């Protein structure tokens, strides 16, 4: 699976751990930065990763910042992106089975690295259930062409 990963300064250390973990398991991981703990603006990194998934250049994206929240808000602005920030491996599993989530957002300052890696594994390995869930995702996708929500 082709995975893009990005972080800001606050997520840099956890991002490095995740890259090492995924590459060790044989995934093709493209690191889109940042490259240090020097302060940067998280939307710039979320945008680049979300664009890669939205355009089909990558199958999945993983984003890390201090909380995972700003990354998630940014990524969800892009067409076809279903970004989630699960707090447990159970939520990570359901985000794949029912929501076909294609971007995973994690917070280095708010989550233990061990749990984060467990969430990454479950999220990467769990397939989408399809069926009735596809109809519901289509309803979400339809919102992308609505200019004004009523």
The window from 62-70, 76-84, 114-122, 124-132 that contacts ligand RB5 (CB under 6 A) reads: 62-70
Contact at 8 Å (CB) between 1 and 123? Answer: no
Among 30, 69, 87, 128, binds ligand RB5 (CB under 6 A): 69
Q: Which is nearer to ligand RB5, 70 or 86 (CB)?
A: 70
Q: What is the torsion angle, in degrees rounded to the nearest 10, for the CA atoms of residue 4, residue 17, residue 93 and residue 7?
A: -50
Q: Which is nearer to ligand RB5, 10 or 120 (CB)?
A: 10
- Residues designated catalytic: 65, 98
Among 18, 65, 122, 124, binds ligand RB5 (CB under 6 A): 65
Residues 9-48, one symbol each (x = binds ligand RB5 by CB under 6 A, - = not), give -x-------------------------------x------
Longest dimension (CA), the chain: 47
What letter does residue 86 receive in the DSSP assignment?
-
Among 8, 32, 54, 58, binds ligand RB5 (CB under 6 A): 8
User: Who's near 150: CB < 8 A, 6+ residues apart?
Assistant: none
Phi (first) and psi of residue 136, to 5 degrees: -70, -35
Residues 122, 142: Cα–Cα separation, whole Å? 28
Binding site for ligand RB5 (CB under 6 A): 8, 10, 42, 65-67, 69-70
């Amino acid at each position: 699976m082709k995975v893009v990963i990005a972080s800001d300064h606050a997520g840099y250390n956890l991002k490095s751990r995740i890259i090492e973990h995924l590459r060790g398991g044989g995934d093709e991981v493209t690191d889109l930065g940042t490259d240090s703990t020097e302060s940067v603006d998280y939307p710039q990194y979320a945008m680049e990763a979300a664009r890669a998934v939205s355009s089909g250049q990558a199958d999945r994206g993983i984003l890390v910042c201090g909380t995972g929240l700003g990354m998630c808000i940014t990524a969800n602005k892009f067409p076809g992106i279903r970004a989630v920030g699960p707090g447990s491996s159970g939520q990570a599993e359901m985000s794949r089975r029912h929501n076909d989530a294609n971007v995973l957002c994690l917070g280095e300052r708010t989550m233990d690295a061990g749990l984060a890696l467990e969430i990454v594994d479950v999220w990467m390995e769990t397939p989408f259930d399809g069926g009735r869930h596809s109809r519901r995702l289509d309803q979400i996708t339809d919102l992308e062409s609505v200019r004004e929500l009523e």
